[in-house]
């Protein structure tokens, strides 16, 4: 199973359409996860043309997106449990990753997907994969744009980032 993982698209402000590099991966995706800051429901509509699309709202999303997705989601794909949250919060002293992890405290997860920082990250924490795909349209101070791909085979989840320089 192939899951494309994105966050922080901030469309249409940061890009008028999904980047071609992302679309190439969406074509054969089985599912798509968006970790918030869509900023427009048209992003969901475009992603959903390619595969079943799941996600959460971020701090820049309107009430329509909040109503549709909420701020936290638990997903199960082929026996792998994935938590999704944007990662923003009111506690300024903790980082985005810490905010995301605390959202699912006490919940057994195979992977945690978060966004908000636009900084790609991948690490293990207590046996759980902690993954930020970065942003396919707003790299901020990063060198490259990015998104992620999860592969699930025989109940095992693997992850990688896809990096690229051109968001058109």
Q: What is the pTM of this model?
A: 0.95
- The pair of structure tokens assigned to 77 is 């794909």
Q: Which long-range contacts (CB under 8 A, 24 or more apart) does 61-70 make?
A: 61/36, 61/37, 65/38, 65/39, 65/41, 68/41, 68/44, 69/36
Query: Which among 83, 80, 82 has a CA at the least distance from the CA of 100?
Result: 83
Domains of the chain: total: 1
- Residue 146's domain is classified under what CATH number? 3.60.21.10
- Which whole-number Å values give the CA distances from 4 to 28, 64, 133, 149, 158, in the listed order? 10, 23, 9, 5, 12
- Section 139-146 average pLDDT: 95
Q: How confident is the model at residue 80 (pLDDT cuts 50, 70, 90)?
A: very high
Domain that holds residue 109: 2-164
């Amino acid at each position: 199973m192939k899951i494309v993982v994105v966050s922080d698209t901030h469309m249409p402000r940061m890009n008028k359409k999904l980047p071609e590099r992302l679309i190439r991966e969406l074509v054969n995706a089985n599912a798509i996860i968006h970790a918030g800051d869509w900023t427009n429901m048209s992003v969901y509509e475009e992603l959903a043309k390619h595969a079943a699309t799941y996600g959460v709202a971020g701090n820049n999303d309107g009430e329509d997106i909040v109503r549709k997705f909420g701020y936290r989601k638990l997903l199960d794909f082929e026996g792998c449990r994935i938590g999704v949250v944007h990662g923003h919060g009111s506690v300024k002293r903790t980082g985005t990753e810490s905010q995301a992890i605390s959202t699912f405290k006490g919940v057994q997860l195979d992977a945690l997907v978060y966004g908000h920082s636009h900084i790609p990250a991948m690490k293990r924490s207590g046996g759980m994969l902690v993954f930020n795909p970065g942003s396919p349209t707003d790299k901020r101070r990063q060198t490259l744009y990015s998104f992620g791909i999860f592969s699930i085979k025989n109940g095992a989840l693997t992850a990688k980032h896809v990096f690229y320089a051109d968001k058109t």
